[in-house]
């Protein structure tokens, strides 16, 4: 595998950068691994750069393998930005080798370890899904802003102005999320999803979360995982659980069927957007839109079944 990666990198280094007809380099190019990260970069750099995500809508970054096209995007970029914290599990070695000779920003590495949640499944690893805590995402984007300015000092006034606008949007989104989720946490409402992507969300907005799988989707949940979750849902009298846009719903549907067999009806809601944005033209096509869409979907479904929280006549 290591030899294959080195050979691919060597071949791609032969590819030429993009130049205009006068031989001048085209607009500054930034390649980001995930479309979530690419959206954050775009908010900061505006129209001063071409920002290209490697992973398309609906792609699971935990399982993604670099292709020849992806290596082209890396070597044609003036700057590469990746999430880090082992989110891009199968690309880590490529990105690490690439960073030795090219400008790369590992956004996760800019965050204080005290703000990260340790993984319960793997020693010495952390949960990479930081974007579900909007305040933590704001810190990450501020740090990314500084890294971009280090690379392009002449952009400082423009990027700082963009950051102030983006920060205001994030602050508003953080407050919106906190207020909405607070309406469903009075009587033990639990957010249950296909994999354990919402720990930061639960910690930030004080709601219990539970996933059928762990942090990564590399392995399939077993019968014991399904059976344990079924029993938990029945014990807690939970009425709605959620599928995710970038993960097969097969396993979570097995949970619904397991509940049905034991006489408990549970609604399969969603999809929630976890490791990818939605369609660019849709409501979840940006980071802000994705978070708001998720919050609304979670609250509307759990509040619908929370009889202790309903207003008179609802």
Strands 267-272 and 240-244: parallel
**Residue-by-residue DSSP string for 99-131:** HTTS-EEEGGGGS-GGGSPBPSSSTT-B---GG
Q: How far is residue 272's CA from residue 244's CA, in Å, rounded to a whole number?
A: 5
**Residue-by-residue DSSP string for 14-34:** TSPPPB-TTS-B-S-EEEESS
pLDDT under 50 in the chain at which residues? 1-25, 215-218, 305-314
Closest CA to 301 of 266, 260, 274, 273: 266
Q: How far is residue 135's CA from residue 141's CA, in Å, rounded to a whole number?
A: 10
Please tell me the predicted confidence (pLDDT) of residue 6: 44
- 28-176 adopts what CATH topology? Rossmann fold (3.40.50)
pTM of this structure: 0.85
Q: How far is residue 163's CA from residue 168's CA, in Å, rounded to a whole number?
A: 8
**CB–CB of 149/219 below 8 Å?**
no
Token pair listed for 139 = 């810190």
Same fold, 28-176 and 185-304: yes
- State the number of CA atoms in the 13 A half-sphere of 152 facing the CB: 19
> If DSSP codes are grouped into helix, strand and coil, which group holds residue 64?
coil
**CB–CB of 182/175 below 8 Å?**
no
> Which backbone phi and psi does 54 adopt, to 5 degrees?
-75, -45
Closest CA to 141 of 115, 162, 116: 162
Domains of the chain: which residue ranges?
A: 28-176, 185-304
- 185-304 adopts what CATH topology? Rossmann fold (3.40.50)
* Angle separating helix axes 68-76 and 2-12, nearest 10 degrees: 50
* Angle separating helix axes 92-99 and 2-12, nearest 10 degrees: 50
């Amino acid at each position: 595998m290591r030899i294959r990666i080195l050979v691919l990198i060597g071949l791609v280094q032969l590819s030429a950068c993009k130049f205009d007809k006068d031989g001048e380099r085209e607009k500054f190019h930034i390649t980001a691994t995930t479309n979530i990260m690419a959206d954050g970069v775009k908010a900061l750099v505006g129209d001063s750069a071409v920002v290209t995500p490697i992973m398309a809508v609906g792609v699971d970054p935990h399982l993604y393998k670099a292709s020849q096209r992806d290596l082209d995007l890396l070597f044609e970029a003036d700057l590469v930005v990746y999430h880090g914290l082992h989110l891009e599990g199968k690309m880590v070695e490529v990105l690490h080798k690439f960073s030795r000779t090219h400008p790369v920003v590992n956004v996760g590495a800019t965050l204080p370890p005290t703000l990260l949640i340790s993984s319960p499944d793997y020693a010495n690893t952390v949960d990479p899904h930081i974007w579900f805590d909007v305040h933590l995402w704001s810190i990450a984007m501020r740090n990314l802003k500084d890294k971009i300015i280090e690379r392009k000092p002449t952009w400082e006034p423009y990027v700082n102005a963009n950051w102030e606008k983006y920060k205001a949007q994030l602050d508003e989104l953080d407050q919106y999320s906190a207020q909405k989720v607070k309406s469903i946490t009075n009587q033990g409402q639990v957010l249950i999803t296909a994999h354990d992507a919402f720990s930061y969300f639960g910690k930030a907005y004080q709601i219990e979360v539970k996933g059928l799988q762990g942090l990564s989707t590399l392995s399939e949940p077993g019968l014991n995982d399904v059976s344990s979750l079924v029993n938990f849902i029945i014990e807690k009298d939970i009425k709605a659980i959620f599928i995710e846009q970038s993960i097969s719903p097969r396993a979570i549907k097995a949970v619904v069927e397991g509940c049905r067999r034991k006489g408990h009806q549970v609604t399969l809601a969603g999809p929630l957007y976890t490791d990818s944005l939605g369609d660019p033209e849709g409501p979840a096509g940006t980071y802000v839109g994705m978070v708001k869409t998720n919050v609304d979907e979670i609250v509307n479904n759990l509040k619908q079944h929370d009889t202790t929280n309903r207003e008179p006549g609802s």
